[in-house]
Structure 1
Amino acid sequence: MMAHFRSDGWLLVLLVSLVHCAAPTESSGDDPSNLSGSGETSAGPKVQTHLVRADYHTRKTPPLGAGEFDLITLSALPNAVTGGDVLIGLRGLAGADGYALTRNGVDVTASLQRLATGEVRGLVTGLELGDNELIATARGPSGTRRAVLTVTNHPITGPVVSGPHQSPFLCQTLAAGLGEPIDANCSVATRYEWFYRTALTQEYKKLADPYAPYPADAMRTVTQDGKVVPFVVRVESATINRGITRIAVLDDPRARGREAPFDARGWNHRVYYAFGASCGTGYHQGTNGPGDVLGGIGDLLGLGQRLAKGDVVVHSTLSSYGVHCNPLISIETTSMVKEHIHETYGLIDDMVGAGASGGALQQYNAINNAPGLLSAALPAATFSDILSTAMTVADCGLLMHYYNGRGWYWDPLKRALVEGHNLLSGTQLNSICQSWTSTFLPTLDPKNGCDGSVPQALRYDPVTNPGGVRCTLQDANVNIFGRDPKTGFARRPLDNTGVQYGLDAFNHYVISAAEFLDLNRYIGGYDIDGKPSPQRMKMDPEVEARSYRIGGVVGRGAMAETPVMDLAPYLDLIPLANIHEAVRPFTVRARLRANTGQDATQSIWRGILTQPDAYPVMEKWFPTLRDLPYGADRVKAVREAKPREAGDRCVISTLGGRLELPNTLFGPLGVQLPLLPGLSPIYLVIPLKVDVPEDFDSGLGPCSTLLPVTRTPRMVAGMPMSDDVIRCQLKPLDRRDYKAFMTDAQFAELRSIFPDGVCDWSKPAAGAVDRSMLWPSIGGANPHEPAPLDYWVARSLPMATGAR
């Protein structure tokens, strides 16, 4: 933990008169800037408090009045503190003669120090689990003032906002090379290791003694501020929120010596957060290793480059969707890791997200639902959110089952157009729907959706083990969706009521009326155990409503407040990888347009590329947003700060060709070849790429022409490009909606297939909201209805107010 700061040492006699009290219950209220109140506790009347809201992104508050000061939590939101400590700041004390701070009535002023900027800052330790009262007092020309703030402390093992822990939970610290866990939450003692990067092979090698002279083949690097330093990396391995967390940063232990503590002097105060891919159902801790934050050969995320420039690089198994695909756990883990860095390394200036597929899902989840958590996002192979992606998984599975079960021939063209694809991405050799079915359909099956680490004996079986763990998408999110009181199973966020599969193919005369009718009569759905059923799926309206309220369908939150460069490598023609359809970034764009009236806060770069290709441009975008005044139009500021070269582009690159690392030649697919071994930096830029602006709306340009964008089964059933209607509103059938010929008898049959009507795609989802809540929480071990976490800051009041 950060060392305690020195106090100003002024007389504390005044504190004797203070009463142990608590801040008022925090409320979002209607006033966007402040809240004052008082109340009663068992200890007596509360001291009157005055709270204002800080900006999630900048931590700024409304302007201070004469003599006022603020007490603010800097490392976490005040009701989401973890691990027993919190970094706090006192602002506005430039004219104060002295100050004091108590924690639950105990003087902790010695933990504070005044910085050159005038702000007073310090790490307050010894917090109790639950609510803790911090009282700051300052004496100035206008008298003595006091600020009271309640901070809520949670265990470092969590939970904070995601509800009760999933159980059972299998520890994997031994498999991760960290030894046996020391408690039931799979914790381990934090350890530190040092690695150097060798100029001979570009690999990292562990230093047995980091204080001894470095090997002759150790590389050097040039940091962001131009310093030439040894390419030696310190890797911290810890358990946070039950996940295994690895944190890497440049260090020079040889130079500072054995006796000097680590001080992160090689850090540039930027964090590069590597989110993990895929989508798993949990019940295990997951594994990672130092390589997950070091990079190396084939480093498509550019981890090595960011380390070389001085970034902290982070990876956690619980912000890896392949371990547990849960949006609240992802935000919770990321926030807790960020808090840990704030408190042990120093305050973060910027935190940039990186990662593909499930890693892209988490970045959009973070910027939409937890503003300020990331300063910028670099999603690749994008999906927008879990729920809209799950629609495609189910639809493709049902179509595959239908084709295989009806006993009549559907030629490749008909299949492709019913699925929204084309002959290049819809054939048996390269079927996107088949890839979806084989890869993620098991997450609908409680028996087959488990990670291999979950023993068969623990798994659900309707006959032999009905009480076993159910490894499904809905069970992975049961705290969000709740349970069906009739079955006790998690409620499921899937619905295909009213969906007219193949509507576009019928209206374009590709399938006949008979085929259209047969498809929709027999498409069916999946039962709660993931088995094909003749009945279509129906979503509980409360599941849908809650999903929109907490941003489970992203786009209605703060997504436009953070710069995004969406990197879209064209994977439609690669089996299994083709589930990352080229249409996905455009679904996010459609949501931005629908919900914010603009799309300039998101750039799309299509082609053959990875995060390192775009980072130098993104680096010109997000740092300019650090110092916006309180109350500034954040979306407007993001748009105006956007560099010209950050616009939409077609990029066919050498997958990392923009990277610059000492002694390295970057070739196709991220292959790195050593040039001349030695200690002096050598920089090369290999210009083997196509890199041109492109207007994707026009349909012109190299990427639009050569890399066609397909759609999804539900889009060709009428869903808009936004792909954000998880349960549609219904309307009566109207013959004008059908362009191809259908007899009266066939139309009557269609009515019988859809007795309650068909989807009205001109209307929003049945349970949609105009604005989803920010920083949604359903509580820790004691769950509650979803509620937002506000960034409350205590603003001082004169001591005479509320004093006794």
Structure 2
Amino acid sequence: MHRRLVALASALLLPLVAAPVLTPADAAPAPAPTTAVAHQDRSGTPLARAAQRRKLIVRVLSNRADLVSEGDARVAVTAAKGVRLRSIRVFVGRREVTKRFAVRPTGRYEGIVRGLRVGRNVVTARWRGHRARAVVTNHPAGGPLFSGPQLKHYRCQATARDAQCNQPATYSLLYRSTNPLAAALQPYDRTNPPNDVATTTTDRGVRVPFIVRREDGFQDRDRYTILTLWQPGKPWAPWRPQRQFNGKVLVTHGGGCGASYSPGTPPLEDYSGTIPAETPGFTQSYVTALGKGFSVISTALDNTGHNCNVAMNAESLVMAKERFVERYGTIRYTIGTGCSGGSIAQHTVANAYPGIYQGLITTCSYPDTLTAGAQFADYHLMRRYFEDPSRWGPGVAWLPTQMADVEGHLTHLNAVVADEGLFKSALNPEDECGGTTAPVAGDPATRYDSEINPGGVRCSVLDLMVNLIGPRPSSVWTPQEKRAGRGFGGIPFANAGIQYGLEALKAGRITTAQFLDLNEKLGGLDVDSQPIAGRTVGDPASVARAYRTGLVNLATNLDQVAMINFGGPDPGLAHDYAHAFWTEERLRRDQGHTDNRVMWFGAVPLIGDLGWANDALVQMDRWLSRVERDGRAVPLARKVVQDKPADLTDRCTNVPGVGEVPGAGDEVDCVLPESLQLRLSTPREMAGDDVHNDRLSCRLTPLERSAYGFLLVPLTDAEWARLQAVFPRGVCDYSRPGLGSQPAQTWLAYADARGRVVHGGRNLPSVPAASGEGWSSPSFRGLLHR
């Protein structure tokens, strides 16, 4: 339905009117907005006081000044008292651009500076011998900004104007119908307006027809979409938005984890598209947001099913937010929403690139890709063993309940679903992925094949992440890597030293013979995700980079975002609620509390409650609006916790009276046992690891025979010898952090000044002063500067 809607909408193109005014000025100007966040250049703010001392300050509002793209930037000049704003002259290099500046309805002297060259640009403001400047670094519209050298093989859309997939943006109108059976937004024909247009009242009390303008375009070689409530025929300028815009942005995400080498579709629907947009009686949360006056941003690259790379997720959102501020208006705060991979994108981007979001709404939750990937790799290997009884040793037989016990779940079904639905497609380099063609005998085409095209494009997400995790060193190259002349994306996880089933053995639920047989025959995976007899040892540099880059989310930078997570029982158990607790445990370890996160568990499979996506949006908006109004000079993390509404608490079920007891006032406390919330275990927990589930590769300790003193029948010499053969270098020592474990570095870039790749990233310089202010209200500032 989403593709059909895009096709219908794109047929109703609106003319592209040059910014700063985006619509024909054929109607009376809209009144200036009265948002809760006013930017007063001559106030007592630190910037204003600095301007008083220095007379002038040049500020880049639309982005970090060193990450500007598309050749333009929204710039403001702050002036001291006594400076006549209209007398200020502005230059880019030697080129005067003063005509693009004016005193805007906000009281600021600002404009959109255009024609920036790729690279360094100096924007200078002058007044009576005084001057101020800002260095603006511009990047191509096709990217990259900081994600590093782009994939060499890439197939643009047929309508692309150049090799970077650039083409002009298109505009269309949609509307919400008064017909309750028409749940999705419908195409709006301005030459023949429909007679069933609903009306909406925004959260600022503005009542308007429910008409939406949709902008579709290309940035970073992929698609983006911007939607906003729109009054046709009335002007909109970034410093004078139409009055129904409330200054808030919702970012929507898709699900899954995959790689693609061609443009995708920006996701909009809740729950990764599992509930179609046209479902009668169900309103997608992005539609609810639009009706309240929010704008909605989505990019194809923020969909992990299309692009499972945190740096590229973040980069696409940075570019889209810049465009939004330059063409639509400054942003008070940004809320993310999404299921499964949508939760991964939010969690990892917020942790590795703080400042992009102020609030996260996550469901079908995972904290990141790689720690769940390690769990699913274990399932993949266990399936090969458990589902092939011919591999079992003499006298060894496994009951289904024992298989599930070793895997840490209720049934073996979890391993099947996770492996088939998530792991195989994400890690298989020969899997079909967008922009590639399959090789056949005599025609290697573009896609990797281990036998006939080892130099082809690999569809494994590890190769998509190669700038982050790095390639494999030549010392471990496979024959395919040698034929290709390069190392493939590194293996960022290991299972060497893991004693699978140890906890079940200790509890007497499996026998010593089963324990030995499983660990002898489980094996590992090579760089092509093919089984090997020995254990996977991983590539140490890639393991460490996975933590450094934030691909593994230890939650060390999530203290300044508000979070609402909700979910329900998953019949397939690939999205069991335990993964939400992984994030909870990591937050508790890092912060000592989880007070900036709310957990809801309901009875509806996977999502808890059909209404919670919309309810969470409303509650998150309440929460952030309180933080926004908090002008105290205290850390933002403290505001997020202390400004959470008192009645916004954990929920344990959506069945009245079940799982909750009255608390203080109107609050309720959870009493539903975690077992009923499907806080299930994992193969690594059942091997002795802890509840954080964030150890990609363990440190080893020598085998000690005395460690098996819990056995009622001691190990025989033959059994001890078998165990030593399985673990020649030792077994996991869970009392020590995993190999390479470290907090994520924030705002990493994956290329040097010459554009050469820097595997594992380099820290971007400090944020240029007074840049990126258009991204959030003052109370949220500082995130970009971490």
**TM-score (normalizing by structure 2):** 0.81
What is the identity, as a one-letter code, of the residue corresponding to 1:232?
A: I
Coordinate RMSD, CA, aligned: 3.2
Cα distance, 1:528 vs structure 2 = 1.3
Alignment map for 1:497-508 (pairs within 5 Å): 497-508=496-507
**Of residues 257, 265, 268 in structure 2, which corresponds to 1:287?**
265
**How far, CA to CA, are the matches of 1:694 and 1:702 in structure 2?**
13
Cα distance, 1:238 vs structure 2 = 0.7
State the secondary structure of the residue aligned to 2:515: helix
1:10-63 superposed Cα distances (whole Å, 9 cap, x missing partner)? xxxxxxxxxxxxxxxxxxxxxxxxxxxxxxxxxxxxxxxxxxxxxxxxx98797
Determine the structure 2 residue equivalent to 1:662.
Answer: none
**How far, CA to CA, are the matches of 1:355 and 1:727 in structure 2?**
29
Alignment map for 1:136-535 (pairs within 5 Å): 136-138=125-127, 145-171=130-156, 173=157, 180-200=159-179, 201-204=181-184, 206-207=186-187, 209-210=189-190, 212=192, 214-253=193-232, 256=234, 263-288=241-266, 295-297=277-279, 301-405=284-388, 406-407=391-392, 408-422=396-410, 426-427=411-412, 431-443=413-425, 446-451=428-433, 454-457=436-439, 458-486=446-474, 487=481, 488=486, 489-535=488-534
Determine the structure 2 residue equivalent to 1:82.
Answer: 69
What is the identity, as a one-letter code, of the residue corresponding to 1:719?
A: D
Number of aligned positions between the proteins? 683
Asked whether 1:753 is paired with 2:726, we answer yes
1:705-764 superposed Cα distances (whole Å, 9 cap, x missing partner)? 643310111122222211111111112234565433442523443233212221112221
**CA shift in 2, pair 1:632/1:747, >3 Å:** farther
Determine the structure 2 residue equivalent to 1:727.
Answer: 697
Cα distance, 1:616 vs structure 2 = 1.9
**How far, CA to CA, are the matches of 1:693 and 1:304 in structure 2?**
34
Larger mean CA deviation between 94-103 and 615-624 belongs to 94-103
**How far, CA to CA, are the matches of 1:301 and 1:493 in structure 2?**
37
Answer whether contact 2:549 2:744 (CA < 8 A) is retained.
yes
**Of residues 20, 23, 47 in structure 2, which corresponds to 1:3?**
20
Determine the structure 2 residue equivalent to 1:588.
Answer: 583
Cα distance, 1:154 vs structure 2 = 0.8
What is the identity, as a one-letter code, of the residue corresponding to 2:579?
A: R
Q: Which runs of 5+ in 2 are unaligned?
A: 1-17, 23-44, 440-445, 475-480, 603-607, 772-786
Q: Which runs of 5+ in 1 are unaligned?
A: 6-58, 175-179, 654-687, 796-804
Determine the structure 1 residue equivalent to 2:758.
Answer: 784
Determine the structure 1 residue equivalent to 2:478.
Answer: none
Answer whether contact 2:269 2:286 (CA < 8 A) is retained.
no
Answer whether contact 2:93 2:122 (CA < 8 A) is retained.
yes
Larger mean CA deviation between 91-100 and 493-502 belongs to 91-100
What is the identity, as a one-letter code, of the residue corresponding to 1:783?
A: V
**How far, CA to CA, are the matches of 2:688 and 2:112 in structure 1?**
55
Greater RCO (Cα-Cα under 8 Å, separation 6 or more): 1
Answer whether contact 1:443 1:473 (CA < 8 A) is retained.
no
**CA shift in 2, pair 1:138/1:600, >3 Å:** farther
1:451-484 superposed Cα distances (whole Å, 9 cap, x missing partner)? 2663213221122112111111211111112222
Answer whether contact 2:650 2:669 (CA < 8 A) is retained.
no
**How far, CA to CA, are the matches of 2:304 and 2:263 in structure 1?**
12
Cα distance, 1:582 vs structure 2 = 1.1
Answer whether contact 1:131 1:150 (CA < 8 A) is retained.
yes
**How far, CA to CA, are the matches of 2:237 and 2:268 in structure 1?**
25
Determine the structure 2 residue equivalent to 1:539.
Answer: 538
Answer whether contact 1:620 1:643 (CA < 8 A) is retained.
yes
**Of residues 593, 598, 604 in structure 2, which corresponds to 1:603?**
598
Cα distance, 1:556 vs structure 2 = 4.8
**CA shift in 2, pair 1:413/1:700, >3 Å:** farther
Cα distance, 1:569 vs structure 2 = 2.4
1:603-658 superposed Cα distances (whole Å, 9 cap, x missing partner)? 111111242132222111112333666973222111101112222112427xxxxx
Determine the structure 2 residue equivalent to 1:131.
Answer: 120
**CA shift in 2, pair 1:794/1:216, >3 Å:** closer
Determine the structure 2 residue equivalent to 1:767.
Answer: 740
**How far, CA to CA, are the matches of 1:497 and 1:258 in structure 2?**
60
Answer whether contact 1:418 1:716 (CA < 8 A) is retained.
yes
Larger mean CA deviation between 705-714 and 488-497 belongs to 705-714
**TM-score (normalizing by structure 1):** 0.79
Asked whether 1:96 is paired with 2:69, we answer no
Answer whether contact 1:275 1:362 (CA < 8 A) is retained.
yes
1:240-268 superposed Cα distances (whole Å, 9 cap, x missing partner)? 112211211111215x3999999544321
**CA shift in 2, pair 1:550/1:710, >3 Å:** same
What is the identity, as a one-letter code, of the residue corresponding to 2:76?
A: G
Determine the structure 1 residue equivalent to 2:776.
Answer: none
Determine the structure 2 residue equivalent to 1:740.
Answer: 711
**CA shift in 2, pair 1:628/1:95, >3 Å:** farther
Cα distance, 1:442 vs structure 2 = 2.2
Answer whether contact 2:347 2:553 (CA < 8 A) is retained.
yes
**CA shift in 2, pair 1:291/1:366, >3 Å:** closer
What is the identity, as a one-letter code, of the residue corresponding to 2:262?
A: H
Answer whether contact 2:581 2:679 (CA < 8 A) is retained.
no
Determine the structure 1 residue equivalent to 2:648.
Answer: 646
State the secondary structure of the residue aligned to 1:644: coil
